[in-house]
Amino acid sequence: MKLYSYWRSSCSWRVRIALNLKGLSYSYEAVHLVKDGGQQNSDAYRALNPMRTVPTLELEEGGQVRRLSQSVAILEYLEERYPTPALLPADPLLRARIRMLAEMVNSGIQPLQNLSVLQFVKGELQRDDKAFAAHWNVRGLTALEAAVKETAGTYCLGETVSLADIFLVPQLYGARRFAVDLSPYPTLTRIEAACEKLPAFQAAHPDRQPDAAPA
């Protein structure tokens, strides 16, 4: 498998964690979201992924090259195709609970602070992009803290790592980039610290990627 990824893209990061947790090896293809006006906007990448987003997962099945995009679709595919270790519990109501927590990040926070939106807020609207990003992080994390508290153990749901943790960790990193005060979210930061002890999460961290350019 080949993963088209950007080191600091939270959606790429989610997939890296899942691939690592499931013990799947992959090659890393960097797509720089800022350089050259954004390599995701090139004709070559657009042909792979018309939404011009990372990640894209390339794989071979039945002798054919297939490409999957959208992190939720990729994660659900990995879960169905490589069920062990499971990232969703067996019980349908608990699965719904985990997906709800994941969605609070996936559709509730991340889309409002991704690069193209912030570029638009700053460039077209001439408004403070970091304040915009921080606003939606605070709103979403407040709700997420309340929801996670109900089921949290070491991780978002008891003692087992799940999709919810995979969405949480990259989002908290994003929140810090926008100078969000995380002290009102003690459950979330405690879970983050527990995840960061796991090798699968460590290896997926932006700073450990081949295209990392830490300040």
- Contacts with its own copies by CB under 8 A lie at 50-53, 61, 66, 68-74, 76-77, 80-81, 92-93, 95-97, 99-100, 102-104, 106-108, 110-112, 116-117, 120-121, 124-125, 127, 132, 135, 139-140, 142-143, 146-147
The two three-digit tokens of residue 91, written as one number:
């019980």
DSSP labels for 12-43?
Answer: HHHHHHHHHHTT---EEEE--SSGGG-GGGSH
**Residue 167 or 201: which CB sits closer to its own copies?**
167
Q: What CA–CA distance (Å, rounded) separates 38 from 119?
A: 12
- Minimum distance from CB of 11 to its own copies (Å)? 9
- Minimum distance from CB of 98 to its own copies (Å)? 8
Instruction: Please give the sequence-ordered ranges of beta strands (E in DSSP) within the chain, or none if there are none.
Output: 2-5, 27-30, 56-61, 64-69
Residues in contact with 80: Cβ distance below 8 Å, sequence separation at least 6, in sequence order = none
**Residue 10 or 209: which CB sits closer to its own copies?**
10
**Residue 175 or 214: which CB sits closer to its own copies?**
175
Q: Calculate the dihedral angle through the C-alpha atoms of 120, 29, 137, 164, rounding to the nearest 10 degrees.
A: 150
- Minimum distance from CB of 213 to its own copies (Å)? 26
Q: Return the amino acid letter for 79.
A: E
- Minimum distance from CB of 125 to its own copies (Å)? 5
**Residue 16 or 99: which CB sits closer to its own copies?**
99
**Residue 51 or 179: which CB sits closer to its own copies?**
51
The two three-digit tokens of residue 143, written as one number:
């709700």
- Minimum distance from CB of 80 to its own copies (Å)? 5
